Structure 1
Amino acid sequence: MINTTRERLIGDRPVGPGRPVYVTAEIGLNHNGSVDTCLQLIDVAVAAGADAVKFQKRTPTVCTPRDQWDVERDTPWGRMTYIDYRHRIEFGADEYRAIDAYCAEQGIAWFASPWDVESVEFLNDFDVPAHKIASACLTDDELLRAVRASGRTAILSTGMSTPAQIRHAVEVLGSSNVILVHATSTYPAANDEVNLRMINTLMAAYPNVPIGYSGHERGLQTTVAAAALGACFIERHITLDRTMWGSDQAASLEPAGLSRLVRDVRVIEEALGDGVKHIYPGERAALRKLRRVAGVIAEAADQVA
């Protein structure tokens, strides 16, 4: 049964209970600043049957603490300052125009997590269907207000946040245009920290808000279980190879893993059914053969006729 009060749009796709699970493949920064790698990851998402790919958008001089700018670190491109590294991996307008055109050609949606107000405005210019708010940004009221002002669906991750902080963020964003996403902000997350029952807790606390799941664990089982618990939006990081350089690679799915995840989520959503007891046509032969009370056989047979 479709609960339209607990339904939001991502582009033209309704997301909520009774609708197909909206599966987002998070590329994030796993492209390591390479458009070619990024396009390969989009291909992976398309081949797996994901509904969207997602990125992270920052203005490096705003999002990088000033005392970290000149700290040097080793990178695949040699030793450089942290602010130079942040600029090196951040896509600008030219790269996003290429991404936008390629996603349109491949028939897959894309959006991003803006980490600052300038990035919200940047993404608005591409007419993205939604804004994802990273768990790290849940307490940034200025950012939340900018996302709300955009009029786009806000997908709010709740990692490393208290119930009071989540409630405040939903109030700032406005509950009528929010998808709330359970997450644990450990990369990768241990099974005993995934806490999937929080999906049910959020459903009870926010009865008119669709609830999703953003997974950072290894493996597929817990994410499939999230779909079985009723998560209507699911997000996992993807990579071409988990041994690639980058902090998110180890918690990401490789191409075969993403394909299996989408396959299993689709099986789960079909198998969940509508919660109404039926006698299915496929049961009719067993009913006639095995049911021992003749009157009950006739009554039940009439129900499936």
Structure 2
Amino acid sequence: MTSGASRSHGPDGDPAGARTDAQTERNRRFSIGANGFLAPAAEPGLHVVSTPIGNLGDITVRALETLAGCALVACEDTRVTRVLMERYGLTTRLVAYHEHNAAKVGPRLLAALEEGQAVAIVSDAGTPLLSDPGYRLTVAAIEAGHKVIPIPGASAMLSALVGAGLPSDTVLFAGFLPTKKAARLRRLEELKNVSATTVFYESPRRLTDTLADMIEIHGGAHRACVARELTKRFETFQRGSLSEIADFYEQNPPKGEIVIVLAPAEPQAAGEEDVEEMLREALAEMPVSAAAAQVAKRTGLDRKTLYKQALALRKAADGNG
């Protein structure tokens, strides 16, 4: 080590700043196949880096440059992330950061940011902050005034949505459902009338129970898709009604990572009084045209007819004012 090198301690107590220029340059190298590259030093801040969800070839060049250019990489499981690092010749220091040690390691990562270091955070697979502890660190970094830089890439949610064959104009990501049946049914009931395609993550061992609960809430004819092992060798999309999909997995117990994509709720049948009440509620928050469009989507009624009715309600309300 060069005499007189600056010594600033990193999150795990190691002198992160005590490196020679040659060491720093080596740490910024990565490879793609037989070709080697030198990444530029990453901008100070928290870099939220998306990594592959299965196929390691899905990493982006920008993600590789960022992982090589940062001072350290915070990850859920160092064993999982190390597989990716070794594939691309990355030697950046890994720091375990997960729900069980977040309270202890989080402040150390924030201290590294305070020193002006570039810190990357990755999840075991996909885009961080979607059902993982990265959200907690990102909020803390923002509150402390540090720059947060998203590095987009693979996402199980988006991959499932692309292959599901269901509407994608309005989408709700609902993450993991509760593991207990009663709580799961309550959550599904809360989401029953959402006029958006809803995406869930699920464990393969709970899939058949979850599909049975969805049938109880939505009915067996409701359209859905179960995406399994996305981007991997045995990637499958099981599309159809909830009953058809449930029957298939009763006969073929699933393995691997699961994403459930549920079609939007069917438009609700509504009486005249219900429609008027929906319009009044919408008009309290938005213009006439937007209120009519919202109620049309919820009820399946003609938007032009609803626009005339909403316009009359708005004029009556203004006249009473």
**Shorter-chain TM-score category?**
under 0.3
For CA contacts below 8 A with separation 6 or more, give which structure has more relative contact order: 1
Relative to the length of structure 1, the TM-score reads: 0.26
Relative to the length of structure 2, the TM-score reads: 0.25
